[in-house]
Structure 1
Amino acid sequence: MTKRAVIYARYSTGKQKQTSIADQVAMCERHCENAGWEVVGVFSDSEKTGKRTKRPGLQEMIEMLRCRKADVVLIEAVDRLHRSVVNALSYFEITTFRGIELYSVSEGQQDFIKLLFNALGAQYYSDSVAVHTRRALESLVRKQGRTHGMAFGYRKKDGETGLNREPDPETAWIVTRIFEETAAGHSAEQIAQRLNQEGIPAPKGGDWYTSTLRGNKQRGDGILRNRIYIGEVTYGATKSSFDPETGKKWVEATPDQATTLQVEDLRIIPQPLWDAAHTQLEATARQVETIGNASAAHRTKYLLSGLLVCGCCGRPFTMQAQGKYYCRNKKLCGNRTPVLREAIEQRVFASLRDLFLTPELEAKFDATIAAERRKMASASGSNELRTLIRRKAEAEKAITQILRAIESGTTFKSLLERAQSLEDEIARLELQINKLEAVRRSAEAMPTRAAPVYAAAIERMETLLADPDFVHQASGHLAQLIRSIRLTPDHTAQDGMSAEVHMDLGSWVLGAGYSAEIAARFSNNPQMTIEVGAAPPT
């Protein structure tokens, strides 16, 4: 009776040839033909590690074996089936229980002892390769700053030595924008929503999610926590392993085994911007700790939540009882004066509507905007840009001359170092040119006067305030416009509390709908304080 055979093939990573599966299957089919077996099924798994049990192709084959639809299982080698002694023996039990033979093309028919030793060798080899690979990658990080991953905002850089990654002008600006908006007080939810609305693709395509931005603090992943953006190349900060029972992959932090190197050429985010963004992340984390859950920390119930601070101790005012805000630190700082929520909201909104844009402030802001437009126009149209373009053209011409020299018979090896140097220079020049051209585009989108900026921001605020269902969005908009509202006990002021609203022009530019890149040019220049202690107009 002709034996029924099933074939199983597997390869591990995307770096291996996809033809590996076809080669294994062809080898097994030839073996079946020579043995006179009938092939009744072919199963395979591409880019699946042999340490995992839940491989689709493997599971399909096991289901077929459980139904006793085969007499022989044929593999190219035992390590194709599994790289774990325990699991390899488990599959052996499944086959022997049903009277199914297990064959390897390179190792012959498997019995318990042969399978035990072959599986032991496969597992030892896998573990040994992992150790040696880790050491090799650590060496490349230490000596050359070469990385094995591709973080969002970077692209591959050719060359067998030196850096193998560089900032990608097409995506690096998105990373910068995320940090700028975070530093400006925007939540991850707000940033992700805007990126999706603008159709900006996420790192793996599709939509942006808050987890993509925030990541995991312990593992240091997520765009806002990845230190590669400040030029820190790290290897060994995490370790992956597979649960022997479920086959699930686990990633754990291993800071004591990490290798870190500072590579300024990989920096995308300036240190002050990184520090400002992480100050905001820490503030959110403190809110989570106080409130008890992340969603509550990011979703406000009251319009001025997070903006009111005590003028005596600097700690926040929080809603505590009967619709009143109190200093959270009132027992220690002594400021026990409360303020009604409705009263402070009315005073702040009235001041923003009616008292903000005085002729003096408008003139001051117009002058600031005009100065910034002149500065950006000068930067984008300066001799520096023309010089960079000329240098890039010269470098490209030199590359062409090297190619011609090679065609005429010059040994390539003698020109390799010069060619690599020119390629590196062209890449640096392209990055600088793209930055200056981005400045030029920003200059074209820059506001021309303060009044339209103010009007757009106020119109947005009025729209949101008109609908009670938009409290969270309205609060987020106010957080764009206002840096803080300082409340200080004052028996001469309305409600026994003086109130100062602190903001800057950058906040209003952002609140008017301009990009974070443009708004950042006006942040803290100039700052302003508005006294809202007077009673609102009636």
Structure 2
Amino acid sequence: MKRAIAYIRVSRARDNMITQDTQLEKIKQYCRLHEIKLVDVYSDLDYSGRSTDRPGFQKLFKDIKHGKLDADYLMVYKLDRFARSVTSFHKYMNALDSYGINFISITQQFDTSTPIGRLIRNILVDFAQFESEMIAERVKDNLTKNAADGNWNGGPLPFGYELDEKSNILIPKEDEAEIVRNFFDWYLEAGGSFNQIAQKVNKEGITTSNNNLWAPSRIGEIISHPLYCIADEKSINYFEKKEIKVFNKETANGKNGLMRYNRRTSDGTLNEEENWLISVGHHQGLIPSDKFIQAQYKRKRRSKRPPRAGTSTKGLLAYLLKCGKCGRAMTFYSSTKTLANNRKKTYRYYVCRGRNLGKSVCNGQRVNADKVDELVIKQIQNTDHEKFNNLLNKVRDDLKYSINNLENKRLILKRDLEQFEKEEKNLLDKFKKTKSDRLISLIEDEVEEIAEKKIKIENKLIEIENKLDENQSQIYSDEYLLNKIHEFNENFDEMTFEEKRSSLQSIINKITYDEGDIELDLFF
């Protein structure tokens, strides 16, 4: 006799919900009718189907993975009891396939052990998602309309603004707005970071709207929030290049700000940026678009770099300096000795970390820190700025050429994707009209082949989008780097030790030292 396990899910309480007992009884009736033995039942009560993060559901698949269940079928009362998302459905359906377990939705009368069942499941899950999305769409329509109109959607007031209750428009709260402007200025300084800004304002007694201390993450939320960005052609183009829909563009006047909507999904998780909705708002923006965009590119650059471990050391080049022999970091050390006249002298030096691994690994270079520091600073100060500018212009031209090629490739791939989607629709139309098992099997094979081609194209599109973003980021970062080198040279004598080190870390990726030769690898 065939064996089955049942999965039951009851939505968050509402009048027309399908009860746990009803679902289980229907599954038992199906088993009796088809002579299938029901061996186990898993359930989730008061859980939405929009997320697969349900305890009963996760335990079910954990037990399947660990071989605790001996079953031929997984049964549900209805498809949407199992999953509402096409992505989630196919993910877990593939998991069932890999363990040889077929899937039955008893009210929709299909069995994935048959070719027609496998094809129908793909069609039905599309309808399940469509129904779920329509419900969600009705919920968010009012909020979307507010966003499209540039209205404030409610919730906690953003730092820097207060609400005019009559017009429902955000108005700058000038004392806080000035702090927001400072946040962006400080962040774009050499070595500026969320941690550094939080420490600075907390030390100076500057608090949040609720009189709390600032956390670095809260600073990051402000720096990344489009609300503060002035709406103009540059900021609109920035978001549209990220394929974010922008409403109300015609009202951008270089003074008002932007509104962000749909940052979180219906289950509260953070949404992908391309699913955001941006609208030109009625409120006044605080940050020029150039400055806002530069801050976003800096955030992206810093997120890709490993954290610097050198914040507690006193070496100017700590965690920048690498050994030219083995590539390992050269660590800063200092020691103080008492001389014959009882005077104390401090010796400062950098030592390759490979020194302790033996000469077979590295000779373990050791060099006077003051000497290397001076050589590096002179190299930066003696930079041929005209030559550097020419080089940056060439790099920028090459990047723009690359961007143009990538955009053309993206256009071709999108056309190919649209063609495959048309072919897929035609095949499904054929399926609805045919009763031939042989033809159904052929259609299924063709649909699967098209699905594979679509996945390949979508992956290529993701790669192209990443490359486009990186190239655009590089154009901004090159300009930013040149400005920082100018600032470093002009203000060097007035900088504190920590400011010098932070500035060097924002300009230099790494420094390679090899027996007196020094090579700088700048961030461009």
TM, length-normalised to structure 1:
0.37
TM, length-normalised to structure 2:
0.38
Q: Rg larger in 1 or in 2?
A: 1
